Structure 1
């Protein structure tokens, strides 16, 4: 692609998934791609799933290193309150990126979905904020919401289970 992405454009989740797959296939621990002002770094820990950090190209390396630590601490705190078996379900809708998850379009507004709601394919389930960009997460299929595995304003990681359908 020859055009550079502006900061207002959403991150392509397919690109992030492709980079994570390359890590698995090649057994690398880190890969970085730079395209215009967009810089995507995907790294994996030897004992955990891949972690993804996003930064704009002009940003110094220090915020990139700090981002995974900031995401990891709140996730560890939330772990005891959520069902770990549900989080590992293969049929769960998973996060396509690292960011902060929001269940409603704005503070105080009704959530996009509730447990028991019937959703259509393409309907917005929640929003993930990454690099100050709000990225709507659409439903990949029709179904009834059985569980919502994240809380409002909770940091999420790439591949983390978000919603389970019946």
Structure 2
């Protein structure tokens, strides 16, 4: 019977990242080794409060845009840009700079539209196609999960 070695410091470091960022899980792999740390979060109490706060904004934005379906599920939009990783999104290169791209601006394929910080490394998120960046779906400093919609490019 072989005994698996567990790096308790790595587990603690990943757990600290989960706590600091508000994420629910994180996974790291190196060679044949994989380490995944996840935590259960009860969102039943937080969900009504979170749903109540954006509802007035969504309701007021729907008549102005004329497209009530867009705010409901941006991931189903054909121009959705999904997050390639778990981390914290940043729309600017640093806090005192303007965003990489303003909403409503044309972008070219491969142009940096934001950063995602993961494990203290800033990863450039590039536009997968040319088009108009219609909307950011995340705020700067907001934690994002893998596959979450970051922006819409039409």
Normalised by the shorter chain, which TM-score bucket? 0.5 to 0.7
- Kept after mapping to 2: 8 A contact 1:100/1:128: yes
Per the TM alignment, residue 91 of structure 1 is displaced from its structure 2 partner at its CA by: 2.6
Question: Which structure 2 residues correspond to residues 114-153 of structure 1 after superposition, within 5 A?
Answer: 114-153=102-141
Match of 1:92 in 2: 80
TM-score of the superposed pair, with normalisation by structure 2: 0.59
Match of 2:149 in 1: 161
- Kept after mapping to 2: 8 A contact 1:52/1:158: no
3-state SS of paired residue (1:140):
coil
3-state SS of paired residue (1:97):
coil
TM-score of the superposed pair, with normalisation by structure 1: 0.55
- Kept after mapping to 1: 8 A contact 2:25/2:38: no
- Kept after mapping to 1: 8 A contact 2:25/2:37: no
Indicate yes or no: 2:90 matched with 1:102. Answer: yes
Match of 1:64 in 2: 37
RMSD value, Cα? 3.3
- Kept after mapping to 2: 8 A contact 1:100/1:129: yes
- 2: CA distance, partners of 1:86 / 1:161: 7
Select the structure of larger CA radius of gyration.
2
CA 1:90–1:52 in 2, change beyond 3 Å: closer, same or farther? farther
Match of 1:54 in 2: 27
* Structure 1 spans left out of the alignment, 5+ residues: 1-50
What's the CA shift string for 1:40-70, capped at 9, x where partnerless?
A: xxxxxxxxxxx8613477xxx7x9234x75x
3-state SS of paired residue (2:103):
coil
- 2: CA distance, partners of 1:54 / 1:151: 23
Equivalent pairs counted in the alignment come to 110
3-state SS of paired residue (2:134):
strand
